[in-house]
Structure 1
Amino acid sequence: MDTKVFYEVIVPLLEVEATALICISTPQDDMNFYSAMFDMHLPDGSPLFVTLEVSLVCDACKESDHPERCPHMTDEIP
């Protein structure tokens, strides 16, 4: 996503009360906006956003050499 779109469209919309932002993305590195937003916290330490992460890879397979081969979460596919 172009950073101009992020700062000129998305950020101002987040200042509106009761705004919902739905971000759908594949896992990325820490330079990805979504990844960084998931980790943002308020000064009191509480999360800035209510987040829901949906993954088709179980925790055990994430730690393996081949997480892409995980068969354990296929029941989550709609």
Structure 2
Amino acid sequence: MTGGKDKLIELSQRARLEVVGDWRIEEVLPPRAAWRPVVSGGAKPTVAVRDDLPDLIAELNAQWHRLAADNGIIGEDGVFLIDVAGH
């Protein structure tokens, strides 16, 4: 594999993600709009999860999914955009 699109598809599959639709889908939230609330210098935590929970990973995943869905990062069909930096 030489890299590029094939390498990204391979990495996605290893992460158990399925590439759906065309390579470029226009009706999704633009990556900059999705990242803005997270990387803003003034961003404040929305949720705090105690680190002594016995099911910490499950709780982190549930809160991430809830916030992502609430903010339009994940569509009703479960599809979301992965922004890959670089070429």
Scaled by the length of structure 1, what TM-score is found? 0.21
Higher percent of residues as helix = 2
Of structures 1 and 2, the one with the larger relative CO (CA 8 A, separation 6+) is: 2
Q: TM-score, normalised by structure 2?
A: 0.19
